[in-house]
């Protein structure tokens, strides 16, 4: 069982590493599988706003990606964020941003997930600074889209999603 979890985490990190923005931020997955994902990134000055707190956009990025990875851990890699909301509870202060997401309800075409955004200090203490909830769309694979006459393109006109 531990080997399977480790394999899932390695797979998830490889997917994360294909996202240039995630690489720029230095994001990493520390848990992935069983309908959950934990994404972390080290806080540096470039990620702060004018008052010294981690910028809300960075928290939103972490929530968005963690929500989508949690959904992907349940339904597979062809997922896209349909939408999410985030509530900022307190200023984000700390050394590491941790986004802990889990699936609330998996569906055939949509997966509902929630995410806690925590700041971790030098002693390892977590402080909840924001919460998010999102709906993740299960993207049709190329084969299904072609059968349905979509030519392998998503409704938004994006590039085809390749499940292979």
Instruction: State the CB neighbour count (10 A cutoff) for residue 44.
Output: 11
pLDDT of residue 4: 81
pLDDT of residue 2: 82
Give, as one character, the DSSP assignment of residue 146: H
Task: Annotate 8-39 with DSSP letters as a single string.
Answer: HHHHHHHHHTT-HHHHHHT-EEEEEETTEEEE
pLDDT of residue 158: 36
pLDDT of residue 141: 58
Mean pLDDT by 10 residues, the chain (164 residues): 83 90 95 96 97 97 97 94 98 98 96 98 97 94 46 35 36
Alpha-carbon gap, residue 86 to 90, rounded angstroms:
12
pLDDT of residue 140: 73
Alpha-carbon gap, residue 137 to 152, rounded angstroms:
16
Closest to 41 (Cα-Cα) out of 112, 92, 75? 92
């Amino acid at each position: 069982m531990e080997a399977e979890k480790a394999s899932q985490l390695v797979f998830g990190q490889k997917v994360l590493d294909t996202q240039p923005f995630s690489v720029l931020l230095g994001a990493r997955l520390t848990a992935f599988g069983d309908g959950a994902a934990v994404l972390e990134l080290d806080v540096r000055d470039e990620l702060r706003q004018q008052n010294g707190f981690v910028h809300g956009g960075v928290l939103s990025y972490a929530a968005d990606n963690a929500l989508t990875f949690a959904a992907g851990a349940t339904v597979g890699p062809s997922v896209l964020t349909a939408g999410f909301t985030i509530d900022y509870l307190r200023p984000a202060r700390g050394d590491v941003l941790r986004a802990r997401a889990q699936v609330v309800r998996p569906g055939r075409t949509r997966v509902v997930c929630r995410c806690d955004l925590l700041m971790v200090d030098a002693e390892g203490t977590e402080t909840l600074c924001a919460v998010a909830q999102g709906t993740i769309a299960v993207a049709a694979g190329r084969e299904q889209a072609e059968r349905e006459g979509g030519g392998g393109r998503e409704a938004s006109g994006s590039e085809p999603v390749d499940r292979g």
